[in-house]
Structures are given as structure tokens and as C-alpha cells.
């Protein structure tokens, strides 16, 4: 989250967000992009950052890896939760429908409204997209091979991909849910729980 705070106060990005429409050119857009990338050079696991002006002109890192839905982008529905958070970070999957990776790999998106530090007037929105590799590396370090991390929409994020078939929406409810199932004719216990304030479900399979 600290990285997202650094990004929304980056001087070249703020200049781009506050500029008049007539003042924006390729040089200004590139400067804003380079400003973001300077911060990301010291970060790991960030797949891309997208920053939108109030008029929906945008700059993005790693842009060619994404396809954008212009209809969603120009609608108001995806912005409501961001604006109601009043500058606090909120977390969604896959840019809240605005964009997806071209390879359809699931990403976790941290979103913030960007306010001018002097006037506190809103000047844009930032999306910071976290690669699923972050979650996979975490599981690798813990040497867990019986865990699967799933998006709340049922999409695979990391871990043992063969377990994705056992995901059901009931795992999204508060608390840990347990189910008895059979794998290769052997009884096992599958446990799942949602992560508070994140669109993520963690499932684990244990042998009896």
C-alpha cells in the first residue's frame, strides 16, 4: 500500500493529472509514465500501474500486456467504490472490469482516488495491479502444495491449480467453511475462507 501512496504523490504524475486538456502532449504523458516507473524500479510484484484523469485520459505502465474495455472505462459504476473510500485503498480483481491482461491471468488491483494535496480536490484515480506471481512465490517459500488461492469470482490466482474445481461461492462467506470430498477415492477435508476486505479466497486440502 505504501507504494501506491508514493505513486499518487509523484510530481510528474500529478502534473499530468492537473494539467488542462490543451496542455497535455506526448512529452507530458511520457514524463508521468517515467515518474511512475522510477518508483516501480524499487518495487517487486507490481505488474502495472494505470492512472486516470477526471476526463479519463490515462497513462499506464506495461500497457501492451492489457486489453481495455472502453465501455466500462467511460461508465461510472466502477468508480463508485473508489470515490466512496475517500482516498483509502480498495482492492478488486482485474482492474474492476476496466482492463484485463491479454493472457487472462488474474491480477489483484489496488485502487485509490487521487486528491490534490493543496486543495484536496479530486484529480484522478490510480490502479496498481499486483501480479499473481507474488502469491505463488509466497506459497513456494512456505512450501505449501496443498493450498489454492482463488479470486472471489472463482478465477485461479496461485497454488495447486487442480483444486480450483472444488471452489464454491460458499467459501466467500465469513469464517472457515469445511467440506468432505473424495480425491482419487480417498476422503479429504477441504477448508476455505475469504480474506477480509480482499476479493480472495484461500482453500486448503487436508488428508484424514
3-state percent breakdown (helix, strand, coil) of the chain, nearest 5: 35, 35, 30
Strand partners, 151: 200
Give the per-residue pLDDT at 132: 92
Give the per-residue pLDDT at 42: 81
Q: What is the pTM of this model?
A: 0.88
Can you tell me the distance from the alpha carbon of 136 to that of 56, in angstroms, rounded to the nearest whole number?
Answer: 33
In the chain, what percentage of residues exceed pLDDT 70? 100
Give the per-residue pLDDT at 111: 95
Give the per-residue pLDDT at 2: 78
Grid cell listed for 134: 507474488
Amino acid at each position: 500500500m505504501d507504494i501506491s501512496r508514493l505513486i499518487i504523490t509523484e510530481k510528474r504524475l500529478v502534473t499530468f493529472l492537473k494539467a488542462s486538456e490543451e496542455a497535455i502532449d506526448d512529452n507530458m504523458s511520457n514524463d508521468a509514465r517515467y515518474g511512475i516507473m522510477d518508483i516501480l524500479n524499487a518495487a517487486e510484484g507490481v505488474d502495472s500501474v494505470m492512472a486516470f484523469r477526471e476526463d479519463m485520459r490515462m497513462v499506464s505502465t506495461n500497457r501492451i500486456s492489457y486489453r481495455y474495455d472502453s465501455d466500462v472505462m467511460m461508465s461510472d459504476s466502477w468508480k463508485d467504490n473508489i470515490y466512496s473510500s475517500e482516498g483509502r485503498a480498495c482492492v478488486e480483481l482485474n482492474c474492476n472490469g476496466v482492463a484485463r491482461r491479454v493472457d487472462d491471468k488474474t491480477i489483484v488491483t489496488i485502487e485509490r482516488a487521487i486528491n490534490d494535496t493543496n486543495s484536496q480536490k479530486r484529480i484522478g484515480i490510480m490502479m496498481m495491479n499486483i501480479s499473481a506471481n507474488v502469491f505463488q512465490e509466497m506459497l513456494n517459500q512456505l512450501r505449501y502444495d496443498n493450498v489454492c488461492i482463488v479470486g472471489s469470482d472463482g478465477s485461479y490466482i496461485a497454488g495447486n491449480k487442480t483444486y480450483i474445481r472444488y471452489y464454491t461461492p460458499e467459501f466467500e462467506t465469513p469464517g472457515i467453511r469445511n467440506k468432505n470430498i473424495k480425491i482419487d477415492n480417498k476422503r479429504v477435508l477441504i477448508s476455505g475462507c475469504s480474506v477480509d476486505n480482499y476479493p480472495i479466497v484461500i482453500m486448503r486440502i487436508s488428508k484424514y
